[in-house]
């Protein structure tokens, strides 16, 4: 491949990967075409993109970006997966598909998260983390829990006072009725 063609491909890869900060490197070697297409469709349904590219060209395109760490010391064939709502959602989808019998030759090689490379074993750990949506739900629960507790404490004082006034009123009302008889 000529240097001119490599530069064109590198520039195209830079455009496609612009803004991508988290990705997985996966192995698709040995998969049958139908299984590979089914895998790509399953990932595409979840918003995950898969790109097979020559590692040296991908490393050139990612030089100076947060994805550069993924290609350090990489040898052999690899495909790049990115997308989904966050890295945890991406990890959950990729790890889930590696466990399916149909995609037995599909495996995780590693990845990069916020500029830090990680190994394949860490991908399984990341898939067990709460996703962005789950983290937001937990945070909102904690925030509303404090507000709910505060409002109940504020209301409780007024409710106790109203109860005591009512009891006093009822007690005074009984005394007035007995005196009237």
Residue 98, class by beta-carbon neighbours within 10 Å (0-12 exposed, 13-18 middle, 19+ buried)?
buried
Instruction: Give the pLDDT mean for 136-145.
Output: 88
Does 84 score more than 90 pLDDT?
A: no
Local confidence band at 174 (pLDDT 50, 70, 90 cut-offs) = low
Instruction: Give the pLDDT mean for 134-145.
Output: 88
At 11 the three-state DSSP class reads helix
Specify the pLDDT at position 71. 85
Name the more confident of 41 and 170: 41
Complete DSSP assignment for 109-172? EEEEETTEEEEHHHHHHHHTS--HHHHHHHHHHHHHHHHHHHHHHHHHHHHHHHHHHHHHHHHH
Specify the pLDDT at position 167. 87
Does 59 score more than 90 pLDDT?
A: no
Across the chain, mean pLDDT equals: 86
């Amino acid at each position: 491949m000529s240097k001119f063609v490599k530069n064109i491909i590198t520039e195209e890869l830079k455009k496609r990967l612009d803004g991508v900060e988290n990705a997985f490197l996966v192995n698709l070697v040995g998969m049958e075409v139908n299984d590979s297409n089914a895998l790509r469709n399953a990932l595409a349904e979840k918003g995950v993109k898969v790109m097979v590219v020559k590692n040296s060209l991908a490393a050139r395109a990612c030089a100076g970006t947060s994805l550069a760490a993924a290609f350090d010391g990489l040898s052999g064939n690899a495909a790049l997966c990115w997308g989904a709502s966050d890295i945890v959602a991406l990890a959950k989808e990729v790890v889930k598909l590696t466990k399916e019998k149909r995609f037995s030759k599909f495996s995780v090689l590693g990845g990069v998260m916020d500029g830090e490379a990680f190994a394949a074993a860490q991908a399984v750990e990341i898939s067990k983390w709460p996703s962005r949506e789950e983290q937001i739900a937990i945070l909102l629960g904690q925030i509303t829990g404090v507000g709910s507790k505060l409002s109940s404490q504020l209301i409780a004082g007024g409710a106790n006072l109203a109860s005591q006034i009512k009891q006093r009123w009822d007690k005074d009302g009984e005394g007035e009725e007995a005196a009237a008889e």
